[in-house]
């Protein structure tokens, strides 16, 4: 396509030479082409949506005074170990160190860890679902919803989950575990490192807890 | 029957409104979007149901590659210089103005500070490729990662957000090293960058 040049009769004043008055109409097609190109570039090269994030608070390494320590009740405690190949081992309550195969194995599927936690947390899950329903019907405001949600999650009697990723687990396992906490509305959870008791426990249940030596 | 003479129509289309709309869209995209920052290593973030968005400013991002190398990034160029100066002073390294300036406009960084000068001498384009072979040391004998975080916290103040971005397959051991270093500094709150999870589709690895 080329710019169209129309000859127009200017009528009246005509100069001696054959000066033709050019049309002021400009062909915009090449411009549109270029802008399209730029537009496509910007659409592809830039990120519109920001990545999601998970906020996490870790316990301090400072020594906690014994009296300040709030021990979780045995009935509320759940300890999960994240292991190789996305396997999850867990036990409830107080560990029985000498009992072999004390740990039970599960995984990150909806039938696995999620089911266990939802069962454990049934009362709260039901209440949260009710609250979410209310929010959908616009019966509670966003601020109210968040407030109520956090009170529900931290109410007494809810499970306390201790997540202990083993050295041979991956980052994905940790995120999946944290995710399960969100899904199951568990408000009280922490990521901690293995201690001597855990190691005995894992050994007795024949779980490999150290990173496999590289071949 | 006489033939109906159709008047010849001009095929000229006026492109002006179209270009108007396009320019509008273009401006919109240019103003609203931020560029994807090139990263030294490609990481595949794990999915999560969390829907909190990451804040835009004052981020100290920590990138952990699948093999556990740590790279850092700070957003404001002036802050970058200030942070670099603090860390360099701690390790007694003299920097030239050019090195500082080059550092402030670069994207991610992550060389052991001892090799910093050597790295900055590499010509621009090669730097990006070479960076993937370095990584900030996080081991307990020479924890330069802590030095960077400490310097960043001093420069950027308490509103700075630490964001950790790691690959799905990064071994937990490497994550533990980073999180442990942060805990030593009493940096107990940070963000883990994730992507939105697909609806419970089983993911084979």
Question: Of A52, A110, A169, which is closest to B172 when you measure between CB atoms?
Answer: A169
The 10s digit of each residue's pLDDT in B6-32 is 777 777 778 888 888 888 988 888 887
Q: Are strands B52-53 and A52-57 parallel, antiparallel or unpaired?
A: antiparallel
CA A30 to chain B, closest CA, distance in angstroms equals: 10
DSSP secondary structure of B83-148: HHHHHHHHTT----HHHHHHHHH-S-B---GGGHHHHHTS-HHHHHHHHTT-----STTS-HHHHH
| Mean pLDDT, rounded, for A31-35 | 87
Give the pLDDT confidence score for residue A55 in this predicted structure. 75
Taking CB atoms and an 8 Å cutoff, what residues of chain B touch A178? 48, 192
CA A115 to chain B, closest CA, distance in angstroms equals: 14
B33 burial class (0-12, 13-18, 19+ CB within 10 angstroms)? middle
Question: Of A60, A110, A170, which is closest to B168 when you measure between CB atoms?
Answer: A170
Question: Of B179, B192, B205, which is closest to A53 when you measure between CB atoms?
Answer: B192
Closest alpha carbon within chain B to A210: B173
Q: Interface pTM (ipTM) of the complex?
A: 0.71
Does the pLDDT at position A9 exceed 60? no
Indicate the range of A52-56, A183-187, B98-102, B169-173 predicted with least confidence: A52-56
Question: Of A4, A50, A173, which is closest to B172 when you measure between CB atoms?
Answer: A173
Give the pLDDT confidence score for residue A85 in this predicted structure. 80
Give the pLDDT confidence score for residue A60 in this predicted structure. 65
Taking CB atoms and an 8 Å cutoff, what residues of chain B touch A83? none
Distance CA A48, CA B53 (A): 12
Indicate the range of A77-86, B13-22, B121-130, B155-164 predicted with least confidence: B121-130
Q: Is A182 on the interface with B (CB under 8 A)?
A: yes
Cross-chain Cβ contact B193/A45 below 8 Å: no
The 10s digit of each residue's pLDDT in B78-98 is 888 888 888 888 888 788 888
Chain A, chain B: beta-carbon pairs less than 8 Å apart = 162
Residue of B25, B29, B197 to mutate for A, most A C-beta atoms under 10 A: B29
- Those of residues 91-130 in A touching chain B at CB distance below 8 A are 109-110
Global pTM reads: 0.71
Please name which of A122, A190, A133, A129 lies closest in space to residue A157, comparing C-alpha atoms.
A122
């Amino acid at each position: 396509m080329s710019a169209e040049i129309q000859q127009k009769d200017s009528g009246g004043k005509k100069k001696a030479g054959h000066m033709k008055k050019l049309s002021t109409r400009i062909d915009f097609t090449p411009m549109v082409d270029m802008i399209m190109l730029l537009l496509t570039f910007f659409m592809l090269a830039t990120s519109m949506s920001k990545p999601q994030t998970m906020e996490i608070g870790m316990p301090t390494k400072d020594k906690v005074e014994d009296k300040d320590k709030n021990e979780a009740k045995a009935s509320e405690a759940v300890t999960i170990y994240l292991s190789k190949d996305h396997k999850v081992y867990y036990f409830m309550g107080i560990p029985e160190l000498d009992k072999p195969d004390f740990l039970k194995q599960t995984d990150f599927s909806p039938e696995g860890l999620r089911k266990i936690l939802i069962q454990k947390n049934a009362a709260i899950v039901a209440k949260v679902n009710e609250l979410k329903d209310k929010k959908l019907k616009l019966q509670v405001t966003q601020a109210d919803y968040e407030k109520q949600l956090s009170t529900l999650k931290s109410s007494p009697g809810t499970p306390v989950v201790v997540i202990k990723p083993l050295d041979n687990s991956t980052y994905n396992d940790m995120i999946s575990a944290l995710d399960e906490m969100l899904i199951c509305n568990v408000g009280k959870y922490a990521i901690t490192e293995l201690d001597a008791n855990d190691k005995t426990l894992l050994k007795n249940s024949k779980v490999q807890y150290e990173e496999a030596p590289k071949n | 029957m006489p033939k109906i003479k159709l008047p010849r129509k001009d095929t000229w289309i006026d492109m002006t409104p179209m270009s108007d709309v396009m320019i509008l869209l273009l401006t919109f995209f240019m103003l609203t979007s931020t560029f994807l920052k090139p990263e030294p290593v490609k990481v595949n973030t794990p999915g999560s149901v969390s829907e909190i968005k990451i804040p835009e400013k004052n981020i100290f991002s920590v990138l952990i590659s699948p093999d556990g190398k740590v790279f850092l990034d700070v957003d404001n160029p002036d802050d970058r210089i200030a942070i670099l100066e603090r860390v360099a002073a701690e390790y007694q390294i003299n920097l030239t103005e050019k090195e500082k300036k080059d550092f402030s406009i670069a994207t991610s960084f992550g060389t052991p500070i001892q090799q910093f000068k050597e790295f900055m001498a590499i010509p621009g384009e090669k730097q990006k490729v070479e960076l993937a072979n370095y990584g900030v040391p996080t081991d307990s004998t020479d924890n330069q990662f802590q030095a960077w975080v400490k310097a960043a916290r001093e420069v950027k103040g308490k509103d700075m957000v630490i964001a950790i971005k790691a690959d799905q397959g990064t071994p937990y051991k490497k994550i533990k090293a980073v999180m442990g270093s942060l805990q030593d500094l009493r940096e107990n709150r940070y963000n883990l960058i994730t992507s939105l999870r697909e609806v419970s589709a089983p993911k084979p690895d």
